[in-house]
Amino acid sequence: MVPTYTVRVATFYSALLIGICVLVGVLALYLVVRLIMDQQGRN
């Protein structure tokens, strides 16, 4: 039997990991979009 505490910690860390991945993805996308806009602005 797995303790409830372990399940909660595992769930928390997996959610945290997913959150960080999403945040990094959004940040990367934002930077790419800004770069493209900057390139178009020069031309």
Structure tokens at 24: 């990094």
Burial class (CB in 10 A: 0-12, 13-18, 19+), 41: exposed
Give the count of domains, the chain: 1
Give the pLDDT confidence score for residue 33 in this predicted structure. 96
Q: What is the pLDDT of residue 43?
A: 63
Q: State residue 3's pLDDT score.
A: 85
Q: pTM of the prediction?
A: 0.63
3-state DSSP assignment of residue 6: helix
pLDDT of residue 2: 76
Residue type, 39: Q
- Chain segment 1-43, per-residue pLDDT in tens: 778 999 999 999 999 999 999 999 999 999 999 999 999 887 6
Domain range for 1 is 1-43
